[in-house]
Structure 1
Amino acid sequence: MEKKYTIAVVGALGLVGGEMIKTLEKRNFPVAQLRPLDIDSNAGKEITFKGKPIQVKEACKENFKGIDIAIFSAGATASTILAPQAVEMGAIVVDNSSAWRMNEECPLVVPEVNPQDLDWHKGIIANPNCSTIQMVVVLKPIHEVSKIKRVIVSTYQASAGAGMRGIEALYHESEEYLRTKEIQNSKVFPYQIGFNAIPHIDVFQAGGYTKEENKMIFETKKIMGSQDIQVTATCVRIPVAIGHSESVNVETESKITREQAQQILAKAPSVILQDDPDTNTYPMALYCEDVDETMVGRIREDSSLENGLNFWIVSNNVRKGAALNAVQIAETLIERKLV
């Protein structure tokens, strides 16, 4: 008989936490018992798993007793406190926040890219930033053919990156504008998101980069296992509900033609190639809401650089960018007999 596991989802009532629960069910994860956890004020509420209601409990140390794997989507502050407590109670933690990503003791894992890093985990495994995940899924198969020297990425990130309140802000502001031709900033983002593009995600840091941009820079190097890859990023919030889009330019050590890149990516795991200019076929956020894979298209050789390639990459930031990747990490832990 297949072994089954007791799983906790922390932040179970949030946008990503709810998607994690749906993903566990959709992928038929071997769950013996699901324990949804959330803030104290949400304790007693119910979620549904496999057609049955389950009562939410408070996310606290005592409620991690007996948990095999705890999947977190509770924010960095909560994860900093609760993740070590969960490990102390015997759980392996897969954390979706930024709290542990650059901690040298914690693997930062995309299963299609660096599953081997799970082998040295010490209890806490970090789920990367959503924008980084979809990019490295495409970069890895290219890197295996010809090492990547440099990456330039500009992101066009959905409002869902700020959770359900980000989606609600987009809908509210858009409706308000269509009704009154005016928008009152909902205060979720630095400026209105309705009918706007904001080149500012997370806080500004040294050198004028935002924290989101620095996440992409440092996380890419860690996941790809190479500090030699040079990365620069510009991250923009756009008025799309779900689905991050990225314009990515890479320089490789040796030349890869457009046709070679298409062949490589057509066979890549968890990648859908959508690249036919003759039929206007290319990835769009419009079509990613029910898609787990990362879509790539608009593949071109960089006419300004001998060994350069351009890609347009789109993925569902709530699924592959968060919930799905976390569940895949848990699946890979089981496959590698680490739990």
Structure 2
Amino acid sequence: MGFKVAVVGATGNVGREMLEILADRAFPADEVVALASRRSIGQEVSFGDRTLKVKDLETYDFSDVDICLMSAGGAVSKEWSPKIGAKAAVVIDNSSTWRMDPDVPLVVPEVNADAVAGFTKKNIIANPNCSTAQLVVALKPLHDHAVIKRVVVATYQSVSGAGKDGMDELFNQTRSIFTAGELKTTKFTKRIAFNLIPHIDVFMEDGYTKEEWKMVAETKKILDPKIKLTATAVRVPVFISHSEAVNIEFEKPITADEAREILRSAPGCVVIDKHEDGGYITPHEAAGEDATYISRIREDGTVENGLAMWVVADNLRKGAALNAVQIAEALVNRKLIKPKAKAA
């Protein structure tokens, strides 16, 4: 008997990716249900070769659901995740609502898969921020080898991280520039077409943005609370995939060659690092792929035991949908959940 999986927020960018990945990876589900708000009832979404009609979250009975992939935003998750969890379904949530809750595991399966066992306190498991997910996949094997002291990261985050509205705004502004049309800015604080915006999420009292704070707090929770990290998060005019320039200081010596070999054998990592034109990965090439790509690995002579590298991943997949499905797979593979008996 297979599992029953519900996808909440099935009409959004990440929800659609979740459905695609469930089908692509042949997740052991006997039934998959697409859910969204009332205004999306009856809309059709793809699930492999099938088409699912979207049902209403507000009226859906979760009593026979085993796993719920939640990608409908923080307010919806805050209200509905505990309700769904109370029906003995495990909620894997993509919002920031539950990430720092001490009773909710924050999981990237390549890094801390053992933490999934902690879901029983609230029946909720949190997905990290998209920029954090790819970062810790790359950091984990290096940390195991040489112990990371400090990380300085600058992100180059695609507009899909801001949802469909962000993608539409980049497209419409670009078209307006080429057609001399009116350029409207509504989703972002400044024009995004042919521009960069060093501002993602709200500003905090210390001058950092909440996006930057998330990377600090989540890396500590997932990987190691002793790691010091500082981040600058930048929105860039790219549709899909986040990129990161990462500088790392270690406690123990590590060479660039050692780092390449370690990362080549690490789960979820693909090293593309040739010292020649085009011998690196760009966001365009990472879009639609599951791996975290690492390029430009080099030693930093300005600090003792320092490395610099370039990290790229599809934020809709590894940064969100794929990671959620991998968490569900970890629950199943570790036999931490069993399918509920379904009514005949």
Q: TM-score range by the shorter chain?
A: over 0.9
Name the residue aligned to 2:342: none
The number of residues matched between the two structures is 335
Q: Distance in 2 between matches of 1:330 and 1:57?
A: 22
**1:87-102 to 2 correspondence within 5 Å?**
87-102=85-100
How far off is 1:49 after superposition?
Answer: 2.1
Q: Distance in 2 between matches of 1:227 and 1:40?
A: 41
Specify which of 302, 313, 333 is matched with residue 331 of structure 2: 333
Per-residue CA distance 1:216-258 (angstroms, 9 max, x = gap): 000000000x211101000000000001000001111111001
**1:248-259 to 2 correspondence within 5 Å?**
248-259=246-257
The two structures have a TM-score, normalised by structure 2, of 0.95
**1:211-230 to 2 correspondence within 5 Å?**
211-224=210-223, 226-230=224-228
Name the residue aligned to 1:171: 171
1:159 aligns with 2:196: no
RMSD over aligned CA atoms reads: 1.1
Q: Is the 8 A contact 1:110 1:133 kept in 2?
A: yes
- Give the stretch that moved more between structures: 46-55 or 279-288: 46-55
How far off is 1:41 after superposition?
Answer: 1.4
Cα separation, partners in 2 of 1:199 and 1:279, compared to 1, 3 Å = closer
How far off is 1:61 after superposition?
Answer: 6.5
- Give the stretch that moved more between structures: 47-56 or 112-121: 47-56
Q: Distance in 2 between matches of 1:173 and 1:87?
A: 42
Q: Is the 8 A contact 2:154 2:234 kept in 1?
A: yes
Name the residue aligned to 2:196: 197
Name the residue aligned to 1:187: 186
Q: Is the 8 A contact 1:155 1:244 kept in 2?
A: yes
Name the residue aligned to 2:341: none
Cα separation, partners in 2 of 1:79 and 1:222, compared to 1, 3 Å = same
The two structures have a TM-score, normalised by structure 1, of 0.97
Q: Distance in 1 between matches of 2:169 and 2:80?
A: 29
Name the residue aligned to 2:58: 60
Per-residue CA distance 1:47-101 (angstroms, 9 max, x = gap): 2323233221111364322100000000000000000000111200000000000
Amino acid at match of 1:154: A
Q: Is the 8 A contact 2:272 2:281 kept in 1?
A: yes
Q: Distance in 2 between matches of 1:40 and 1:47?
A: 15
Amino acid at match of 2:320: A
Per-residue CA distance 1:6-65 (angstroms, 9 max, x = gap): 000000000100110000001111111111110011122222323233221111364322
1:150 aligns with 2:150: yes
Cα separation, partners in 2 of 1:282 and 1:183, compared to 1, 3 Å = farther
Cα separation, partners in 2 of 1:50 and 1:242, compared to 1, 3 Å = closer
Cα separation, partners in 2 of 1:57 and 1:333, compared to 1, 3 Å = same
Per-residue CA distance 1:80-124 (angstroms, 9 max, x = gap): 000000011120000000000000000000000000111121200
Q: Distance in 1 between matches of 2:89 and 2:117?
A: 16
Name the residue aligned to 1:312: 310
**1:223-302 to 2 correspondence within 5 Å?**
223-224=222-223, 226-302=224-300
Gaps of 5+ in 1: none
Secondary structure of residue in 1 paired with 2:110: coil
Q: Distance in 1 between matches of 2:182 and 2:98?
A: 37
Q: Distance in 2 between matches of 1:193 and 1:258?
A: 35
Amino acid at match of 2:203: F
Return structure 1 stretches of 4+ with deviation > 4 angstroms: none
How far off is 1:164 after superposition?
Answer: 1.2
Name the residue aligned to 1:20: 18
Gaps of 5+ in 2: 338-344
1:114 aligns with 2:109: no
Cα separation, partners in 2 of 1:152 and 1:61, compared to 1, 3 Å = farther
Q: Is the 8 A contact 2:16 2:46 kept in 1?
A: no
Secondary structure of residue in 1 paired with 2:45: strand
Amino acid at match of 1:171: F
Amino acid at match of 2:55: K
Q: Distance in 1 between matches of 2:46 and 2:130?
A: 26
Name the residue aligned to 1:31: 29
Secondary structure of residue in 2 paired with 1:215: helix
Name the residue aligned to 1:323: 321
How far off is 1:176 after superposition?
Answer: 0.7
Q: Distance in 1 between matches of 2:321 and 2:47?
A: 15
Secondary structure of residue in 2 paired with 1:330: helix
Cα separation, partners in 2 of 1:61 and 1:87, compared to 1, 3 Å = farther
